[in-house]
A and B are shown apart, each in its own frame.
Chain A
Amino acid sequence: MSNEHNSHSEKQIEIQDTDSVVVRFSGDSGDGMQLTGMQFTDTTALMGKDISTFPEFPAEIRAPAGTVAGVSGFQIHFGSKEIFTPGDAYDVLVAMNAAALKTDIKRVRKGGTIILNTAGFDTKNLKLAHYPDGANPLEDGTLDEFKVYRIDITRLTKEALKDTGLGMKEIDRCKNMFVLGLLFWMFDKSMEYTITSLQEKFSKKPDLLQANITALKSGWNYGDTTEVFTTRYHIAKATLPPGTYRNISGNQALAIGAIAAAEKAGLQLFLGSYPITPASDILHELSKYKANGVKTFQAEDEIAAICAAIGAAYTGALGMTTTSGPGMSLKTEAIGLATMLELPLLIVDIQRGGPSTGLPTKTEQADLLMAMYGRHGEAPLPVIAAATPADCFDAVYEAIKISIEHMVPVIFLSDGYIANGSEPWRFPTPDQLIPIAPPFSTAHNNTAGNFLPYKRDEKGVRPWVIPGTPGLEHRIGGLEKQHETGNVSYDAQNHELMIKLRAEKVQKIADAIPLLQPDSGKDTGKLCVLGWGSTYGAIKSSLIELREEGVEVSHIHLRHLNPFPKNLGELLQRFDKVLIPEINSGQLLQLIRSKFLTDAVGFNKVQGLPFTTIELKQKIKEVYLT
């Protein structure tokens, strides 16, 4: 029993110790669930817990209020142990209306807690959520397996704010703060940080500031004083490695990774982009850095976006373009041009459910083969994928380093899951970042005659000579070029040579890639799980749990999809079985099987959703035991 915070009540409160909790805030798009979730996340992080979050937005911007299509959710998994995924099942669900409950009840753990805003369950809301006539989940036993709190959050907020002089609409908008206050009480968290950020947000609107703070505190007090709640949760601080942390989403990490790499390379950063979910946030984020000379160009389409980035790269800038599936399709021809020109270029694909417009707000790993092969002619390129939100920083930094130092466009794969998800990040200091050396040249490389723009060094890399360099004027283009001179050439032997040289250049990048080590587990054994990209967290958690059950399985995770680390084949051979889980129908599987002739097996899910630990564990066990 404890009452650390100023509590006015005399009631008996049970403190429940637990090592991790999954909370889901779910409501209508207009209910402010994203904001609530982010505030809850920040406070949780600041209190030293490990976290992983996952926001889920409705596909429709203004789906009718109260409908299932309009449900917006925010999921946070936090705890004192290491957290690698936003969690499979919810321990606590906050459902602001019937549609939210309908959407999310499937994933509440048996015996879990559900907090309901009863005002969201009137006949109108039940109808909008398409509950059959007369059916009401609040009354029909649907909720029997759960610990349910029915609170008229709408009315309580109204009452708390009745003297503020605000309109009904504005008062109603504060109900998310009531929820937040209540959850802070439940999880024994301070309101301080949220109050500070409200003060910043509403510095010019004192009446709204007051109302939000009042609603927040009312929620807290409701938990503290009413007899309704008798349990609070206590979670110890996480045992993360010591250091200074911040919370970061994948797209944020990617944006600042690009800024950091450009600065370390001494280059101007140029982003050409066209808005598309879930990549737009990178454009938004980078557009804020005008004071650092970052140039962002919102082009008329994805083709113009990448072409402008190619133009910028030609002048010696770090050219970058960001998009998602449909935009990748449009960029294809220009990626071929960049490959042919041999200019550095970062192409970011935040994968989403495809084909075509597909599932814009859902996640998928289905663009891997497109990244590998989706160009006409033979145009191999380095492909790099990030594993977690924070890993987007390191991975994009490395992708840019490879692109610049090897004069080659690099395709960077992330996906909706890690782009929007967030986790704590022990960020580096600038001096911890490895240097990046652009192969700029102002020197004539052929005293016997014309400058040779395609003369290569031992890595197969040509010099980066930019317009403005006197005496080295030269033309580049998409037509096949003669070895070294770069002049147009249709010579048969030369074409084959150039195809080979461009491919070799990409293969030689493997010399600069560290040898692969298992992420966890031994480097030999019965079974290894080989993953790439955002399946990292789910694989990692599964294997930790399996290890506790005495099942020893190794985890190998690939950041470099092309070229593969040099020892990948040899490493895989040391296992009896290789299991490759992917959010696609088996794309890495195909690459691995064809390259190493191993009999790897796939585990595939193409539902627009990440793997749950439960399903992955089950599959791993099954393969392990057969």
Chain B
Amino acid sequence: METTTSPIKLTAKDFASDQEIKWCPGCGDYSILKQVQTILPEYVSQKENLVFISGIGCSSRFPYYMDTYGMHSIHGRATAVATGVKVANPSLEVWVIGGDGDLMSIGGNHLIHLLRRNPNLKLVMFNNEIYGLTKGQYSPTSHKGLVTKSTPYGSVDEPFNPAELALGAKASFFARTLDRDPKHQQQIFRRVAEHHGTAFVEVYQNCPVFNDDTFALLTEKETKKEHSIYVEHGKPLVFGQTESKGIRLDGLNPVVVDLTAGVSVSDLWIHDETDKTKAFLLARFADIENMPRPFGVFYQENRACFDEELVQQINRTKDQKGRIPLHKILSGDKTWGIV
């Protein structure tokens, strides 16, 4: 998204619609809505060019609360609708909003194809590891063993690792943040806003009604520093209550090291957003025991965007061949007359 200067500076409030917000009290969705509204004025001066497209789910009510253009589409298909919006009019700023069920279950197919095509749009996945709107069934990101309405004896279904899935589908940008850290969210949404290509951000979002405290280890004061790690480009991987732990690469194996026991910071893994191999390793943390959960921008690259390449191809063809006049299209090459 390009920063534009405008005579009247918009504020967060300008992006709030007049509709009553109907999420449950304490739902993590509120914070996400607020942070998006907070950073948008830095990037948008003409809100008529903003379009929010969502699927179905609690999270997908998001567009109704934004005073921009928007469409609450059907379950799983927001990515496909958004592709059409962006391809038809690449000058619009498109944000796609969806839940973990919406984007990774019913919409899983469209998600991977969106990521490989890389149209220039934003993609925010509210991951509460549950189906909120349908009142609490496990989702494709729910951890194994989760007891829900549809898994009274615990889920035996292996979950997706969203970061791994995204990178495997050639995402040009993947970041993770969480509802309970507004500052970090804003930082990440700024990066999302600035990325050229499909900017995919996974937001850990608490559903206090159907999956409360799934992310408690990562959000509660007592545990969060031990269990999460905030990565930043060019900085070493340091975490822990007193920043006393780090991660070192032993070949391609990440190992937690104790910085108080003689390991120096200069030996640590330095985060490099442009390194895809290492991004895959970061993605793996979620599935490796005792590894802290990474937050931040895992990976970012600049590569061709489908919507823009299509327009370029059209322009090239126009230049080379010229527009075919309608009468020519109607007549084709071979005609004959009857008198």
* Partner-B contacts on A (CB < 8 A): 42, 45-48, 237-238, 240-248, 256, 259-260, 263, 268, 270, 272, 289-293, 295, 297, 299-301, 303-305, 307-317, 319, 333-334, 336-337, 341, 427-430, 450, 467-479, 487-488
Contact = CB atoms under 8 A, between A and B. Distances in A.
Interface stretch (B78-86, B179-187, B253-261, B292-300): B78-86
B81 A311 contact: yes
Interface in B293-339: 310, 313-314, 317-318, 320-324, 326-327, 329-332, 334-339
A311 B48 CA distance: 16
A96 to B, nearest CB: 27
Contacts of A337: 73-74
Contacts of A300: 109-110, 113
Given A243-B338, A314-B85, A473 B72 contact: no
Contacts, number: 210
B17 interface: yes
11 contacts: A48-B338, A243-B337, A243-B338, A244-B335, A245-B337, A290-B314, A295-B310, A310-B81, A312-B84, A467-B89, A488-B19
Given A246-B334, A477-B71, A303 B77 contact: yes
B326 A46 contact: no
A475 B50 CA distance: 11
B63 interface: yes
Given A245-B335, A300-B113, A473-B69, 16 more contacts: A245-B336, A245-B338, A246-B334, A247-B334, A270-B88, A291-B318, A291-B321, A295-B88, A305-B80, A428-B330, A430-B326, A450-B18, A469-B48, A473-B47, A477-B71, A479-B72
A241 B338 CA distance: 7
A315 B64 contact: no
A256 B64 CA distance: 39
Interface in B105-121: 109-110, 113
Contact of B332 (A237, A243, A248): A248
A304 B77 contact: yes
A521 B80 CA distance: 50
Contacts of B72: 475-479
A43 to B, nearest CB: 10
Nearest to B69: A467
A310 B87 CA distance: 12
Contacts of B321: 291
Interface of B: 17-19, 46-53, 56, 63-64, 66-74, 77, 79-89, 91-92, 109-110, 113, 310, 313-314, 317-318, 320-324, 326-327, 329-332, 334-339
Contact of B87 (A263, A297, A301): A297
Contacts of A333: 74
Nearest to A264: B326
A299 B19 CA distance: 34
Contacts of B64: 475, 477, 488
Q: Is the interface of A mostly helix, strand, loop or mixed?
A: mixed
A233 to B, nearest CB: 20
Contacts of A304: 77, 79-80, 83, 109-110, 113
B279 to A, nearest CB: 24
Contacts of B323: 291-293
B55 to A, nearest CB: 10
B84 A308 contact: yes
A293 B314 contact: yes
Nearest to B77: A307
Nearest to B83: A308
A256 B326 CA distance: 9
A427 B18 CA distance: 53
B110 to A, nearest CB: 5
B137 to A, nearest CB: 20
B40 to A, nearest CB: 13
B48 A471 contact: yes
Contact of B330 (A256, A316, A479): A256
A46 B64 CA distance: 59
Given A246-B331, A247-B334, A295 B69 contact: no
A268 B332 contact: no
Contacts of A268: 88
Most buried by B among A248, A315, A334: A315
Contacts of B53: 311
Contacts of A428: 330
Contacts of B317: 290-291
B80 A303 contact: yes
Contact of A468 (B17, B70, B89, B310): B89
A110 B327 CA distance: 45
Contacts of A305: 80
Contact of B88 (A259, A315, A488): A315
Contacts of B330: 256, 260, 427-430
